[in-house]
Amino acid sequence: MLRPWRSDKLRKAALRVHGGYHVPLILRTYYNSDKAERAVDDIRFAEWIHLDEFLADEADWACLDDPELFDFGDQ
The reply to whether the predicted model has a pTM over 0.75 is no
* Cα distances (Å, whole numbers) of residue 65 to 1, 3, 48: 29, 23, 13
Structure confidence at residue 3 (pLDDT)? 67
In the chain, % of residues over pLDDT 90: 20
Between CA 29 and CA 68 the distance in angstroms is 10
Between CA 31 and CA 44 the distance in angstroms is 12
Q: Where are the domains of the chain?
A: 8-70
Structure confidence at residue 2 (pLDDT)? 64
| Per-residue pLDDT reduced to its tens digit, 4-25 | 777 887 888 888 877 777 778 8
